[in-house]
Chain A
Amino acid sequence: AQKVTQAQTEISVVEKEDVTLDCVYETRDTTYYLFWYKQPPSGELVFLIRRNSFDEQNEISGRYSWNFQKSTSSFNFTITASQVVDSAVYFCALGWGLIYNQGGKLIFGQGTELSVKP
């Protein structure tokens, strides 16, 4: 069965610290997709990144970076030089399906609440 685990329920850091949010997934599918979403205090879910299972290359976008390791079934998210505006709940999610299937539901982890203090 598919499952996503975010073991860190809450993390608190001081501004400018680096912080890594962990995500471990389980799936028997060989084709799958991993996502990160940010939920700021305003409540909406903001899409951050989507990776497919065939692309293990790490990705960097500004202060954000993602480390995808199939060997450990992990897709961790690092924020470098954190800022107060990064305070939010972050969700990791897993989707799966053959390349020609349409759509597909996401399975979410329980979320990690990140608090960045000034």
Chain B
Amino acid sequence: EAGVTQFPSHSVIEKGQTVTLRCDPISGHDNLYWYRRVMGKEIKFLLHFVKESKQDESGMPNNRFLAERTGGTYSTLKVQPAELEDSGVYFCASSRIQGGVGEQYFGPGTRLTVT
């Protein structure tokens, strides 16, 4: 089975521009998560979808970040307008519906550089 895929693998944009990151979860995984790692720091949770619904968006830093998951399949994370502090690696993960906290399988990440 194919793993979690993310596109693009690397994006370099200028401050003030808009960037959209895409995540395709493992087929059949209803849980989809976004995480971010800023250089040298820990990986931090951004938000969690169950199918197309936002289950938890407590980690979203501000309203410049907008996540969608139309149809409960792939998800996009848009940053508009991007700021320098948004630079980092954005990971997407997915897991099956099950009790408790299941195994989350991560994608390779998108490295975002804001100059």
Interface residues of A (CB under 8 A from B): 4, 31-33, 35, 37, 42-47, 50, 52, 91, 93, 95-111
Contact A91 B99 (CB under 8 A): no
Contact B42 A110 (CB under 8 A): yes
- CB-CB contacts of B42-69 with A at 8 A, as 1s and 0s? 1111001010000110110000000000
Interface of B is mostly: strand
- Return chain A residues, CB-CB under 8 Å to B88: none
- Return chain A residues, CB-CB under 8 Å to B59: 105
* 8 cross-chain CB contacts under 8 A: A43-B89, A45-B91, A50-B101, A97-B100, A97-B101, A99-B99, A106-B45, A108-B44
Q: Does any Cβ of A come within 8 Å of B95's Cβ? A: yes
With both beta carbons as reference points, the residue of chain A lying nearest to B51 in the complex is identified as: A102
Interface residues of B (CB under 8 A from A): 31, 33, 35, 41-45, 48, 50, 55-56, 58-59, 89, 91, 93, 95, 97-109, 111
CB distance from B40 to the nearest CB of A (A): 8
Contact A31 B100 (CB under 8 A): yes
Contact B43 A108 (CB under 8 A): yes
CB distance from B54 to the nearest CB of A (A): 12
Contact B109 A100 (CB under 8 A): no
Contact A103 B43 (CB under 8 A): no
Contact A33 B89 (CB under 8 A): no
Q: How far is the CA of A10 from the CA of B108 in the complex (A)?
A: 22
- Return chain B residues, CB-CB under 8 Å to A45: 43, 91, 93, 106, 109
With both beta carbons as reference points, the residue of chain A lying nearest to B41 in the complex is identified as: A110
Contact A102 B108 (CB under 8 A): no
Contact B106 A108 (CB under 8 A): no
Q: How far is the CA of A42 from the CA of B108 in the complex (A)?
A: 8
15 extra interchain contacts, Cβ-Cβ under 8 A, other than A93-B43, A103-B48, A105-B56?
A: A32-B101, A33-B100, A44-B109, A45-B43, A47-B105, A50-B103, A52-B100, A102-B31, A102-B97, A102-B98, A102-B99, A103-B31, A103-B97, A106-B35, A109-B42
